[in-house]
Copies of this chain bind each other. A is one copy, B any other.
Amino acid sequence: MSEASKRLTLRRLAIDTYRENVAYMHRDCPLYRTEGFQALAKLEVRDGHKQILAVLNVVDDDSIVGVEEIALSEQAFAQMSLPEGTLVSIGHAEPPESMEAVRRKLRGERLSAEDYQAITRDIADNRYSKIEMAAFVVTSGQTGLDRDEILYLTEAMAKTGKQVKWEEPLVADKHCIGGIPGNRTSMIVVPIVAAHGLLIPKTSSRAITSPAGTADTMEVLANVEIGPKPMRHIVHAHRGCIVWGGTANLAPVDDILIAVERPLGMDSLGQMVASILSKKLSAGSTHLIVDIPVGPTSKVRHMREALRLRKLFEYVGDRIGIHVEVVITDGRQPIGRGIGPVLEARDVMRVLENSPEAPTDLREKSLRLAGRVIEFDPDVRGGQGYAIARDILDSGRALQKMNEIIDHQGRHSLAPVGSLSFEVKSPRGGVVTEIDNLHLARVARLAGAPMDKGAGVDLSRKLGEPVDKGDVLYRVYAEFPPDLHFAKEQCERETGYRIGKADEIPDHTFGL
């Protein structure tokens, strides 16, 4: 068919297809059959110098797209940046050039820094279909990335987004690889470190598969959706902040790859390191404490895996100019007592307020981590960080700093815990020998967390504590009866607790 007849009228379709450009063509469009487009075909839509790639969807409704039109999904239309009504040419698309590198990876080869840059650039420019993105993610996870490839991917991802500059020689940060319910140390570490005077502009994530992220929990107390400019004001005024990182456009390709990895349940160590460090590099962090909890039901289950991960963090960190210190922590059970945004915010405030009800483990872990961050300060002697952190917390200066940050970010009035609840009781007497992180996270999510802020789980017993038959192990809170029902069903199948003898508690040789 002639070139002139390969032109269609551009139209915008207000459908958000995430990072996959989609082009909609009418089934009766003359181009559709004559060009022999296949299922999952990729088209090239072009006009002069502008050119995008898009996956084809076929439409049987004139009101969505006419037979002489080509409609583009929102992202694709924005990228084309031409007015509706423009005549554009349509043709078969070649795969994006960097797919050649992905195919080499599929054959088991090692890729170069240039390959990773080309791949992340094409992904950032929406040139990859979901199938192509999945191929990259799966093959990187499966063939594995060697430590130089992790470095290349980290640098390449950091380059795809904004680069924050703080114009200070020391920008502190901390990060936990996740998997432990209730582990809200950042909200205690940040005010302590900021009160000490180090710069700690903390951007946090919302929960993806957990019952609460730091951003969800901080949101119980204050506004966290804060743009780059107001964030800068807050940090300059108080030396710290705790905001949601989603507005900053830091390493956006990392977010895209995570969105692909999540439904596959993939979690390769290499991708984890590249994901975390690309975000930190973009955020302008210079000194970073990484918390790796190890335990039978946490993300990292064996000490040898934790050590391998530590080496990877150190190797990549050194080469991208971030001073990384890895702390391997006890991940055998949840930290604190509450699980879910409101309950976790309560625990955090109890620690900051030096309340007698403050959970000891949350306080101690936060102090140790804050101490390690404070030791980044060249004026602090090695080994003195913990004592400085404890002084700041005990004196109320951490609480005061937290209140300043909350007020500046925008204080929220306190939300109550869920109005519905039930108790889970011990079927026998003994000592708590195991607590299943995954079970408790699941129960809290079934109860409505993190969307229903007051939903969650409140633990009455922790590892090593004695229980009598019928003692309450934990209480589950929900806002709505069906959620309560689902959570209850789950708890009737199993409590997530094991009650036995004191000497059955798995050894904890990790230490800080």
Contact = CB atoms under 8 A, between A and B. Distances in A.
Contacts of A27: 16
Contacts of A263: 40, 42, 95, 129, 131-132
Contacts of A84: none
7 contacts: A16-B58, A36-B206, A106-B138, A106-B264, A130-B134, A132-B264, A142-B143
A139 interface: yes
A376 B194 CA distance: 84
Interface in A1-33: 1-3, 13-19, 24, 27
Given A60-B14, A265-B103, A259 B138 contact: no
A208 B40 CA distance: 12
Interface in A438-487: 450-452, 479-482
A427 interface: no
B480 A1 contact: yes
A146 interface: no
A424 to B, nearest CB: 23
A95 B19 CA distance: 21
Given A38-B208, A452-B1, A64 B106 contact: no
A57 B74 CA distance: 11
Nearest to A3: B482
B15 A262 contact: no
A40 B262 contact: yes
A135 B138 contact: yes
Nearest to A1: B480
A97 interface: no
A141 interface: yes
A512 interface: no
A346 B16 CA distance: 49
B451 A1 contact: yes
B38 A135 contact: no
A193 interface: no
A479 B481 CA distance: 69
Contacts of A59: 14-16
Contact of A24 (B3, B15, B131): B15
A12 to B, nearest CB: 9
Contacts of A99: 264-265
Nearest to A209: B38
A19 to B, nearest CB: 8
A61 interface: yes
A452 to B, nearest CB: 7
Contacts of A108: 142
Nearest to A143: B142
Contacts of A38: 208, 259, 262
A127 B454 CA distance: 33
B132 A135 contact: no
Interface string A377-420: 00000000000000000000000000000000000000000000
A153 to B, nearest CB: 18
A451 B36 contact: yes
Contact of A138 (B35, B74, B138, B480): B138
A108 B268 CA distance: 13
A70 to B, nearest CB: 14
Across chains A and B, which 8 residue pairs bring their CB atoms closest together, nearest first? Answer: A134-B134, A14-B61, A14-B60, A16-B58, A138-B138, A18-B39, A131-B134, A3-B482
A264 B104 CA distance: 11
A220 to B, nearest CB: 15
Contacts of A259: 38-40
A208 B39 CA distance: 11
A226 interface: no
Interface string A51-89: 000000111110110000000001000000000000000
